[in-house]
Amino acid sequence: MHFGTYTILIVIITVIISIRAFSDTNLMNKLILWPRRMDRPSEYYRLLSSGFIHADGSHLFFNMFTLFFIGSAVEAEFAYFSSHFLYLVLYLAGIVVASLPSFFKNKNNSYYRSLGASGGVAAVLFSSVYFSPWAPLLIWFIKMPSIVFALIYLIYSMYMSRKGGGYINHDAHFWGAVFGIVFTWAIDPSHGQLFLEQISHPSW
């Protein structure tokens, strides 16, 4: 299996920062998405920095596990038809774009804070679905098509978003997914017809 350079770097950097923030409250508060504090442009960096910290070890593991096994394939696709750099843009922009709805929705909510790489991971995940919707994935030793896992991922995210509680931004999963599809289509619209054909002819 080929491991993408950007994917590995993202995982390493995110793990290091997240683990450090687990025991450093000041760092956590400095990086977390905190809309009420973001009343000036100098605080907007939180839209991105919040994607490099996580609520706990299981939250970090789930996001980085997903990115590690899916990201390299997507990075290779971007390298083939465009460039590695646009893969990095996909991931980082996915975090920012997915954070914006929560930011605007909670600008006056002093108690709201959120974190996690979910927006970027969802963007990469749904980019992979755009390229190969029926590609087999092995998730927790269960084999399933990527589009099935992606739909389960979204349904779970919507359920947890309605349930509420904690700092994990489950809304970011949905918006990251939308961004991943739209961004990848904009970069490679010629693949759109193939995507529709693949969806209508299941094979895995």
Give the residue extent of every domain in the chain. 5-200
CB–CB of 160/170 below 8 Å?
Answer: yes
For residue 5, the tally of other CB atoms under 10 A from its CB is: 13
The answer to whether 70 and 152 are in contact (CB under 8 A) is no
Give the pLDDT of residue 132.
83
Local structure of residue 144 (DSSP, 8 states): E
Residue stretches of the chain with pLDDT short of 70: 1-2, 138-141, 160-170, 192, 196, 200-201, 203-204
pLDDT at 135: 80
Taking the C-alpha atoms of residue 100 and residue 106, their distance in angstroms, rounded to an integer, is: 10
Instruction: Provide the CATH topology of domain 5-200.
Output: Rhomboid-like fold (1.20.1540)
**Residue 123 phi/psi, 5° resolution?**
-60, -45
Judge contact between 51 and 124, C-beta under 8 A.
no
Can you give the pLDDT at residue 139? 65
pLDDT at 21: 97
pLDDT score of 22:
96
